Amino acid sequence: MKISADQPSGLTALDRPNSYIGRSVPRPNLARLTAGRGQYVSDVVLPRLVHVAFVRSPHAHARIKNIETAQAKKAPGVVAVVTGAELTKVITPWVGVLTHLKGLKSAPQHAIAIERACWQGEAVCAVVARTRAQAEDACALIQIEYEPLPAVADAETALDAATPVIHPELGDNLTFERTLNVGDADKGFAEADAVVETTFVFGRHTGVTNEPRSIVADWNPGEQRLTVYQGTQAPHMTQNLFAKHLGLEERQVRVLTKDVGGSFGIKVHIYADEMATVALAKLLRRPVKFVADRFESFSTDIHARDHRVKAKIGVKNEGTITAFAIDDLTGIGPYSVYPRTSGIEANQVVSLVGGSYTCPNYRAHARVVFQNKNVMCQYRAVGHPIATAVTEGLVELAAAKIGMDAAEIRRKNLFPDDTYPATSAAGLKFEKLSHHACLDKILAMMDYKKLRAEQRQLRARGIHRGIGLASFIEVTNPSAAFYGVGGARISSQDGATVRLDATGAVFVHSGVTEQGQGAESVLAQCVATAFGVPIERVRVVTGDTDNTPYGGGTWASRATGIGGEAAWQAGKALRANVLAAAAPILQANPEALDIRAGIVVDADTGRERMGLDEVARIVYFRPDTLSPGLQAEFVATRHYVPRAWPFAFTNGVQASYLDVDIKTGAVKLLRHWCVEDCGTVINPQLVDEQIRGGIVQGIGAALFEHCLYDEAGQLLNGNMMDYLVPMACEMPDIDIDHMVSPTADSELGAKGAGEAGTAGAPACVMNAINDALRPLGAAPITAMPITPERVLEALRK
């Protein structure tokens, strides 16, 4: 490692001076400060923010034989060049496992690779410089000698005896395996009048957030404290991880997360380059900044959905589904992602397949294998799009096999709306869902019978139009059953602190974070309504581990259902406190008073008695005038965690209407519908736009998005030119409506809605395409993305 002239060198953690950034280092240590050019310096001032860039492996798998950094150390602006081995003196490696996922295993992962690079894009050396451009220029001067190793790039052969084991100490390339047998699937298939078998293939893709991952870490040696500004969904989680692996107490780490430009699950994990950045800040004792460029985003942001699912359904001629069976194979990267692990997605697929239906016979087998590709983990609607596409694809294929209408086979098999509480074959517990009401509503919205008639007429004119349906369920409001039981310090509860200031304004501090989904608006709404003030008088503070209650952050559609409930309860508690203080001032009973529009009023008549600003003035500045013994408390904190149910399930139905050009294979989306039941809808506009955004991402998975790798593990389209994302001009009008089945586990009754659109969209688009091509005798398309080439191939078959 090379240290520049303005950086202290050779100091241990014990004898480093307690100086702040920008202050002079005390003179007693000057003799030990080198200028990097053999000169001593008379005074040293730690410089401003510096930037880190990483040299990343061009190989999917290679041994690192030598790193030559001499030229890079001499480059303009360079502050330090740090290898993985040098960084281990500051930060420890990690292993991404959860104890409740039995048998899940992974190898230790370092912030910077040490002996081997295990995927194309893994960081092998860091350069810290005054500007990002200088750091990148110096990266180009580093010479690394690699010994290429065989790459494991095909999940199908990852467990073969002839395939190299990526981590020999683990014994094989199997990360995680789960088997589930419920009822008697073999008997169910034997009793079926028709059995449909097919293989579903899902293309690996990623989140493509507007704002890339970014982090600034600042170690203050005087306070022995690390401050991190990070675009993350879970600041308390990353606070724990930074402290744990830097050898600090959590109280020594502060994480701040302001408005984040989109996350979709991409930013709910910890990344090796982020760990390296905080370690460099502690090592160099100055603020260090890292912002992933778009190429780095494609090669290091987690990927998801890389699954091959062999699936089977049995059905009676009258439409009763007798059995489901799946065999899921998913290839992740060379490591299980920390701390949420790369086993959750396959685990979710096993749990969710067939979940909307009453069929009691279900057999599932899932295997997760290591590959020399970018790491793979949770992305918006983890596992749901795969499970829904498999389930709903099988249901429509079964309907076609027995000649039954796609809507009617669902009506025959979906859980009836009057049978709750209920339990799925996989053991999922449902409090209250509305499958049939949602199906009835969406068929009326789209005028299903009219569309079918129109479809028949257009086919006679050579226009191939398809209608696709997809029922779905969505896991929201997760309890500790998701991560806490597995040993991860990821909170399932959330808290809110609500405060009335001396001017009558209300401040809310919440553990959830704003990722662009409108969480702060919902929190303000909950508090304003519970407390009794206009929403414009509520200020929301999120994303600061020093100043917000401990919470899980934003993931799994939990911000409203859990964070909103905590805010609601805190607002009610503060309202009671304020009325208790106002009552003696107004010579009234607290029960006879209310707060409306920011004014204390008589509850029965609405007569205005006193503004909150005046109540606050008296309490804060003239407490001597209050009744003896009265201590007004104008701060209230409440926490909430779901207890009655492990999850609050959302459900719904989506439908797609589209044209397929059989000459070019192009798909034109005409209309999309979604009816969703997320319990109490707090903010209709935000909910609808969350669902629309999710649908667009689901359409992207169905038709466009795919991280393409060659047989050597090289990512072929890691840029915005070659990686296709859905564009506005390609999107149809999307109509949204709701049913309302509130959860009784909270006063608000709100469930999550952030992932419903993504869960169901790929399935109904796939079903609509197959519906359009079925009269032509085309082979069913069950591989995504459904490109024009795949459409033409199906027609040829």
Q: What is the pLDDT of residue 168?
A: 98
What does the angle CA 204 – CA 209 – CA 214 come to, to the nearest 5 degrees?
115
Domain 44-149+212-260+266-300 has CATH 3.30.420.10: no
Residues 6+ apart with CB under 8 A from 435: 356, 410, 414, 415, 417, 471, 651, 653
Task: Inform me whether the pLDDT recorded for 347 exceeds 90.
Answer: yes
* Sheet-wide strand order for 494-500: 538-542, 506-510, 494-500, 635-640
542, 255 in Cβ contact below 8 A?
Answer: no
Give mean pLDDT, residues 101-105: 96
Give mean pLDDT, residues 372-382: 97
Work out the number of other CB atoms within 10 angstroms of the CB of residue 199: 12
Each residue of 21-36: pLDDT tens digit? 233 333 333 333 333 3
**Rounded distance, CA 549 to CA 546, Å?**
8
Give mean pLDDT, residues 335-347: 97
Q: What is the pLDDT of residue 797?
A: 82
Each residue of 720-773: pLDDT tens digit? 999 999 999 999 999 999 999 999 999 999 999 999 999 999 999 999 999 999
* Beta strand residue intervals within 604-647, DSSP E: 608-611, 635-640
Q: State whether residue 377 is helix, strand or coil.
A: coil
Q: What is the pLDDT of residue 630?
A: 87
Beta bridge partners of 128: 52, 80
| First and final C-alpha spacing in the chain | 60
Give mean pLDDT, residues 332-350: 97
Nearest to 200 by CA among 304, 303, 306: 306
Q: State whether residue 638 is helix, strand or coil.
A: strand
Give mean pLDDT, residues 149-155: 98
Whole-angstrom CA distances from 753 to 237, 376, 686, 698, 699 are: 23, 24, 10, 14, 17
Give mean pLDDT, residues 563-579: 98
Q: What is the pLDDT of residue 16?
A: 32
426, 180 in Cβ contact below 8 A?
Answer: yes
Q: Which amino acid is at 205?
A: H
Let me know if 179 is exposed, middle or buried by CB neighbors in 10 A (0-12, 13-18, 19+).
Answer: exposed
Helices 384-402/344-352 angle, 10° precision: 30
**Rounded distance, CA 217 to CA 51, Å?**
10
Distance from chain centroid for Cα 756: 13
* Beta strand residue intervals within 58-172, DSSP E: 62-68, 78-83, 116-117, 123-129, 143-148
**Rounded distance, CA 239 to CA 228, Å?**
9
Written as six digits, the tokens of 102 are 């039995």
Helices and strands in the chain: count of H runs, count of E runs: 18, 31
Task: Inform me whether the pLDDT recorded for 3 exceeds 80.
Answer: no
Q: What is the pLDDT of residue 21?
A: 29
Written as six digits, the tokens of 718 are 């890691």
Each residue of 586-611: pLDDT tens digit? 999 999 999 999 999 999 999 999 99
Q: What is the pLDDT of residue 249?
A: 98
Written as six digits, the tokens of 615 are 């109540």
Residues carrying CATH 3.90.1170.50, the chain: 44-149+212-260+266-300
Nearest to 559 by CA among 755, 692, 693: 755
Give mean pLDDT, residues 87-113: 97
494, 563 in Cβ contact below 8 A?
Answer: yes
Give mean pLDDT, residues 600-629: 94
Give mean pLDDT, residues 470-481: 93
511, 552 in Cβ contact below 8 A?
Answer: yes
Residues 6+ apart with CB under 8 A from 144: 55, 64, 66, 67, 68, 124, 125
Q: What is the pLDDT of residue 46?
A: 46
**Rounded distance, CA 462 to CA 449, Å?**
20
Domain 30-38+493-640: which CATH number of 2.60.40.1120, 3.30.365.10, 3.40.50.720, 3.90.920.20: 3.30.365.10
- The DSSP secondary structure of 32-58, one letter per residue, reads G-B-SSS-B-S--B--S-EEEEEEE-S
Whole-angstrom CA distances from 436 to 83, 123, 385, 620 are: 59, 51, 21, 56
Query: Quick one: what percent of the chain has pLDDT higher than 70?
Result: 94
Q: What is the pLDDT of residue 339?
A: 96
Residues 6+ apart with CB under 8 A from 560: 519, 522, 682, 748, 750, 752, 753
Give mean pLDDT, residues 484-496: 92
DSSP 677: E
Q: What is the pLDDT of residue 482?
A: 81
Give mean pLDDT, residues 147-162: 98
Task: Inform me whether the pLDDT recorded for 299 exceeds 80.
Answer: yes
Q: What is the pLDDT of residue 629?
A: 82
Mean pLDDT (the chain) is 93
Helices (H), 109-234: 132-139, 185-191
Written as six digits, the tokens of 451 are 């569309």
72, 33 in Cβ contact below 8 A?
Answer: no
Task: Inform me whether the pLDDT recorded for 14 exceeds 70.
Answer: no
Let me know if 597 is exposed, middle or buried by CB neighbors in 10 A (0-12, 13-18, 19+).
Answer: middle
Each residue of 46-86: pLDDT tens digit? 458 999 999 999 999 999 999 999 999 999 999 999 999 99
Q: Check: pTM over 0.85? Answer yes or no.
A: yes
Residues 6+ apart with CB under 8 A from 783: 200, 201, 202, 203, 790
**Rounded distance, CA 524 to CA 539, Å?**
7
Written as six digits, the tokens of 417 are 């709306």
Fold of the CATH domain 303-480+644-796: Aldehyde Oxidoreductase; domain 4 (3.30.365)
491, 639 in Cβ contact below 8 A?
Answer: no
Whole-angstrom CA distances from 226 to 277, 297, 572, 601, 677 are: 12, 25, 36, 48, 43
Give mean pLDDT, residues 165-171: 98
11 pLDDT band, cuts 50/70/90, is very low
Residues 6+ apart with CB under 8 A from 251: none
Q: Which amino acid is at 60?
A: A
| Tokens 């493509």 found at | 208
Q: What is the pLDDT of residue 43?
A: 42
Give mean pLDDT, residues 199-228: 97
Peptide bond preceding 58 in cis form (omega within 30 of 0): no
Residues carrying CATH 3.30.365.10, the chain: 30-38+493-640, 303-480+644-796
Task: Inform me whether the pLDDT recorded for 387 exceeds 60.
Answer: yes
